[in-house]
Structure 1
Amino acid sequence: MLKNERGESATASPVMFEGFFTTRYRPKEFRPENTVLGFASADEDLYWDFHPGGVVTGKLGCNAFSAAAEFSGTSVYFHGPKLITHRTCPGPNSADEHRLLGILDAKRYEYKASESGMWVERGYHPDNSLLSFEAVPRP
C-alpha cells in the first residue's frame, strides 16, 4: 500500500506479470453488449504474441497479422493491424478474423494479464466490449 504526504493510501496492483512477453494468448470469448460469442477457429489458427518492442503478432483465424501495441499504465492501444498472409478462410474462420481485426484497429482498451489469461475491455461499463484470452506457453 502506498501513502502520500496527506496520509491518503492507494493500493497498486500489477496489470502485467513477469512472463507476459513469453506467453501466448488465445482469444476465447468476445462479449459485445452482454452477448457472449466464442471463436470457431482451431487453437493453432487463433493466437496473439506480444513482443517487448511494442508489437503484437499472431493468427486471426487463418491469416497471420502484425500490429502496434502501445502500453500505458492499465491501457493498451492497438494501431495499424496488417495481414501478413492472404489466405482464403472458411466461413467461421473468416468471421473470427473480421471480428478480431476490428478490435485491433486503432483502439484503446483497459487490460489485465496474468499467468492464466488476459482480458481487454473498452472501459469498465458492462455493456462495453470485452475480449478474454487463455494464456498458454509459446512453442
Structure 2
Amino acid sequence: MVFQSKIPNNLASRQEKVIILDEETANIFSMNSTTKEALNRFQNVLERLLDIQRTNEENIEYNRNFDAETIKKEILAEFEYGCKGPSPHVVILEPTDSPNSDQVILEAANMYRADFNLQENRYLDIVANEAIFR
C-alpha cells in the first residue's frame, strides 16, 4: 500500500537547517516545548475535572463524577486535530510471487522511482510491515 501526498510548497522549498551542537543545544533528549505544552494541557484538564477543594476541617475533597470518556472529550476539546491538507492518494500494490525477495523489492522501488521521475540523488522512503504479509 502506498500513500501519495503532495508536499506543501513551504516544505518543498525549505532549506535544511544545520544545528551545531554546543553545551546549550546538546540536550537533545529532553522534552520539546510542544510536548511540555501538551502535558500542561492534560494536567489542566485533570485538575479542572477533579476540582480539588480543601474543607474547613483541612480535609481534601475532589470531584469523582467523571469517567474516561469525559476525560477524552475534554482533552480533545483542547487540541486541533484532523487532516491539515488534502487527503493522500492510496495505491494498493499487489505482491508478486516472492514479495520478500530483495531483488523484487529493488525492481519495484526502481519502477516507483521512474514513475515519479526521481533523480538518483533524491530519496524514496520505503516502509514495510511484515504483518501485512501474514
TM-score range, shorter chain: under 0.3
| TM-score, normalised relative to structure 1 | 0.20
| TM-score, normalised relative to structure 2 | 0.21
If each structure's strand is expressed as a fraction of its own residues, which one has the higher value?
1
